[in-house]
Structure 1
């Protein structure tokens, strides 16, 4: 009876985490480039060695559930046409490397770019692109091709200038990246080696100028998941309530 209380407690905590994660997914359904998260659970297993001997058989029994980790779905969201010349989306796998202050290099899929005070392309969050692409005020138009090449057209003439190339990177295990605020990721030991490449090459998506990547959250799916998680929470709360009532009945019988 006591075990049922503790098992239900682990269920409550797990379902609360699930509700929080799903709620965050729903809240960011319209956030550009947002990647949905999911919760992975594991059983809490208790091993009992009845004899104490190292070579004896053991019995296992469940002691509830535990949140193993919260993973992120890095699948590509739908592309939205914005017509803004400094909006770029990656149509396929890959990340754009950006400067991250004293912490070295960071990575992002949020391609809403702007020009910083020194004339360089940066993300709207203030991270300059590692490619160090400078946009002169003398240019009347900037074209970003599918292969990442950035071309400027000189005002008042047909002359064009190649300004640089937006390169992409991938990882042997992208799910091991450490997520930061504003769609920024940091490499970790779990993410493995950084693989550099050009847009359109094998393993890398194309660059699409004038597009942004939408959230990959399915509102209908998340609403269904939320109902299921809330029901799971209610059932675990009910187990605690019933267990408490049974314990009270047992105590009354002893009097």
Structure 2
């Protein structure tokens, strides 16, 4: 029985260690633009049922409760919490933030489509709108080399003013992608997530249409990590780790006592 208790406590140690890793990743990305905090979800392992509830205890009576012993815990999932981050004004014309639902679409180097809330954009030598890593924003927006100013409206219309012109000229339309289950998206690093069967296909549309958020030019969405909340969660995980460690020590002492006395 003591060895079983050790195994249960070990699963608790593993679970809390994973939780600490999730919390550490959140804290490490507290200043990452567009980052969404992760949450670790756990579930109990199988139970050893010695006597089921309702078992016959005599000819006319049944057990009102059963006897079941748990075998531990395991990590069942980690999920992104897509709450809105604070918008920080930068004044940079190519910095964009989504206020509300939706993701920017970016063509990744392997040809797949990535989705991000990080709107730290710039332009390459050809004037194409790119991420900081040089990946192309979709749909492609090409800014003329002689553009004096760039304006992005709340509904995604990109306009520029060129020499000799008074009225801005429209050069493209930015769109946002929404998902039926954004928590089903798979994070792949660089603040990108990709589509999965759980997320459903992307629903692409213009900002402010069909429930999509609006674009805010000259601003970036900060990480939604709450440092105080994460530190409290870290202390909880640390205390739970210590308690599970003590369970192992107690089981070991019990086994040592038996070996010395028998």
TM-score normalized by the length of structure 2: 0.90
Are positions 1:219 and 2:220 aligned together? no
Aligned with residue 97 of structure 1, among 93, 100, 105: 105
User: 1:107 offset after TM fit, Å?
Assistant: 1.1
Output the CA distance in 2 between the equivalents of 1:102 and 1:229.
Answer: 38
What corresponds to 2:121 in structure 1?
113
In 2, are the aligned partners of 1:148 and 1:167 still within 8 Å (CA)?
Answer: yes
User: 1:32 offset after TM fit, Å?
Assistant: 1.2
What corresponds to 1:20 in structure 2?
21
Give the alignment's Cα RMSD to 1 decimal: 1.8
Q: Deviations over 1:190-243 (max 9, x none)?
A: 111211111111321000000000010111111100000000001101111111
Aligned with residue 246 of structure 1, among 243, 254, 260: 254
SS in 1 for 2:75: strand
Output the CA distance in 2 between the equivalents of 1:215 and 1:208.
Answer: 16
SS in 2 for 1:110: coil
User: 1:81 offset after TM fit, Å?
Assistant: 0.4
Output the CA distance in 1 between the equivalents of 2:247 and 2:115.
Answer: 45
Are positions 1:37 and 2:38 aligned together? yes
Change (3 A) 1:250 1:23: same
Output the CA distance in 2 between the equivalents of 1:226 and 1:139.
Answer: 50
Output the CA distance in 1 between the equivalents of 2:118 and 2:170.
Answer: 23
* Aligned pairs (5 A) from 1:70-149: 70-149=78-157
Output the CA distance in 2 between the equivalents of 1:22 and 1:116.
Answer: 36
Output the CA distance in 1 between the equivalents of 2:49 and 2:150.
Answer: 69
Output the CA distance in 2 between the equivalents of 1:247 and 1:161.
Answer: 81
Give the stretch that moved more between structures: 93-102 or 241-250: 93-102
Output the CA distance in 2 between the equivalents of 1:128 and 1:147.
Answer: 20
User: 1:26 offset after TM fit, Å?
Assistant: 1.3
- Find runs of 4+ consecutive structure 1 residues off by over 2 angstroms: 46-50, 58-61, 101-104
In 1, are the aligned partners of 2:35 and 2:117 still within 8 Å (CA)?
Answer: no
Q: Deviations over 1:146-176 (max 9, x none)?
A: 0000000012431421010110010111111
User: 1:49 offset after TM fit, Å?
Assistant: 7.6
Unaligned runs of 5+ in 1: 51-57
SS in 1 for 2:45: strand
Give the stretch that moved more between structures: 122-131 or 160-169: 122-131
What corresponds to 1:54 in structure 2?
none
